[in-house]
Amino acid sequence: MHRSKLALTAFLPLLVSPAVVAQDDTDSVLRVAYVDAFPNQEKFDRPVYLDHHPSDPGQYWVVEQNGRIVRVPSDAESNARHLVLDFSDRCFHPGNGGHNEEGLLGFAFAPGYGEDNRHVFIYYSHKTGGEGRRVTREGVVARLTVSDSDAGPIIDPASELVVMRVEQPWGNHNGGTIVFGPDEMLYIALGDGGAADDRGGNGQNLKTLLGAILRVDVRKATAAAPYSVPADNPFVGVEDACDEIWAYGLRNPWRMSFDRENGDLWCADVGQNTWEEVDRIVRGGNYGWPITEGLHDFPAGTTRSADEKQGLLDPVAEYNHREGVSVTGGYVYRGTALPALQGAYVYGDFAFMSTWAVHEDRDEGEHRVHVLGKAKAPIASYAEEPDGELLLLCFDGRIYRMVPASE
């Protein structure tokens, strides 16, 4: 079960922020159920993201890892489905030889999306070379333009404007979430480049974009100048540091989201050997990888010095690999069906299918974790509905809604 404050204080006297602990030992169990939100839909193909636009709340756009975006009515009775984008040829994904963690991973409507601005953004894995030439993997952030057809909105892949290419040394740890903040800036989560033990030395290296959350301005994107760096980014003007970086020290941030009520940025960072963690991301924050994993020195059995850990930020929650091995980040709950979860950050484990929510206690550090129970299939992602209720996108091809359990 989750570590108590007492135990952490006893075993980790060198914590930089001793008041902040992972979670309180008074875990509460909340009974929730996961019900199929679209029982009449055919299975989705590795659904990894779902979004809607406020101007069209009755339609959900579902991102499939193998390179497609489909649009389905939010109406549970419907079986209608419309193909918006087929990017499967351009994208390197599990269906055409890519790594299990590669593919079409991120999607976001542009700020101000509407009749006069039909732009959306995607993150996808790409491969160049091969056939005798060296293969290079890269993560690509691109802008696409939506147009209309009789059947609904469609995206011509030819409308692509590449915003950013980042070389990915290995197929795993891509990150791949892209999300616009309330400030209309685009936040991009990137993993450490892959392999194990941060072999590339990227987590703590501010000269690489890997292992970091980036913040860029794409509102005036052109082919010649696809993005600019906001002047108030934390490392602007700092020598040997990329201006794009907003926060760093991350291993494989798998899903981040903004709290729709207060604009806080939350991120789940997948661990390697022992600990999975949930972080609240602040400007310029260093989240420790690979010096720490969760609240613990990394690798296990080593003792990191106070100097090494100077300034590292602790996670808000963590769990041990006895309870799960690959965290999937969700959302701060702002719905009404589960009042006890109001303001708590909801997350789960891809492999063990366990789910939790954490109420952060920003004053005392007595964060309170709620055990929510098991999902029905591996949780690839969460999504937030217009009314704040949460969906789970699962690798049985189904999308579930989190609801109160009936007695």
Residue 290 interacts with Ca ion (CB under 5 A)? Answer: no
The beta strands (E) that lie in 291-353 are given as 292-293, 296-297, 317-320, 327-332, 345-349
Tell the smallest beta-carbon distance from residue 79 to Ca ion (Å).
Answer: 42
Q: Look at residue 378 and give its three-state secondary structure.
A: coil
Total number of residues that touch Ca ion (CB under 5 A): 2
Of residues 363-402, those binding Ca ion (CB under 5 A): none
Which one of residues 176, 226, 288, 373 is an interface residue with Ca ion (CB under 5 A)?
288
Query: How far apart are the two ends of the chain, measured CA to CA in Å?
Result: 25
The beta strands (E) that lie in 168-231 are given as 178-180, 186-190, 212-216
Compare residues 48 and 247 and give the one whose CB is closer to Ca ion: 247
Compare residues 34 and 275 and give the one whose CB is closer to Ca ion: 275
Compare residues 5 and 251 and give the one whose CB is closer to Ca ion: 251
Rounded Cα distance between 387 and 321, Å, is 33
Tell the smallest beta-carbon distance from residue 249 to Ca ion (Å).
Answer: 6
Residue 153 interacts with Ca ion (CB under 5 A)? Answer: no
Tell the smallest beta-carbon distance from residue 287 to Ca ion (Å).
Answer: 4
Rounded Cα distance between 58 and 84, Å, is 16
Rounded Cα distance between 90 and 98, Å, is 12
Tell the smallest beta-carbon distance from residue 317 to Ca ion (Å).
Answer: 11
Beta-carbon count within 10 A of 167 CB: 13
Compare residues 67 and 288 and give the one whose CB is closer to Ca ion: 288
Give the range of 240-248, 282-290, 350-358, 387-395 binding Ca ion by CB under 5 A: 282-290
Tell the smallest beta-carbon distance from residue 118 to Ca ion (Å).
Answer: 38
Give the range of 18-26, 115-123, 225-233, 281-289 binding Ca ion by CB under 5 A: 281-289
Rounded Cα distance between 74 and 386, Å, is 10
Give the range of 6-14, 283-291, 345-353, 387-395 binding Ca ion by CB under 5 A: 283-291
Is the CB of residue 395 less than 8 Å from the CB of residue 378?
A: yes
Is the CB of residue 272 less than 8 Å from the CB of residue 197?
A: yes
Compare residues 254 and 287 and give the one whose CB is closer to Ca ion: 287
Residue 171 interacts with Ca ion (CB under 5 A)? Answer: no
Is the CB of residue 137 less than 8 Å from the CB of residue 126?
A: yes
Rounded Cα distance between 402 and 392, Å, is 7
Give the range of 131-139, 179-187, 231-239, 286-294 binding Ca ion by CB under 5 A: 286-294
Tell the smallest beta-carbon distance from residue 94 to Ca ion (Å).
Answer: 27
Compare residues 287 and 319 and give the one whose CB is closer to Ca ion: 287
Give the range of 171-179, 234-242, 288-296, 363-371 binding Ca ion by CB under 5 A: 288-296
Residue 287 interacts with Ca ion (CB under 5 A)? Answer: yes
Rounded Cα distance between 4 and 1, Å, is 9
Beta bridge partners of 277: 269, 318
Tell the smallest beta-carbon distance from residue 281 to Ca ion (Å).
Answer: 11
Residue 298 interacts with Ca ion (CB under 5 A)? Answer: no
CA proximity to 345, closest of 366, 370, 379, 324 = 370
Q: Evaluate the CA torsion angle 163, 254, 268, 33 in order and state its sign.
A: positive
**Sites of contact with Ca ion (CB under 5 A):** 287-288
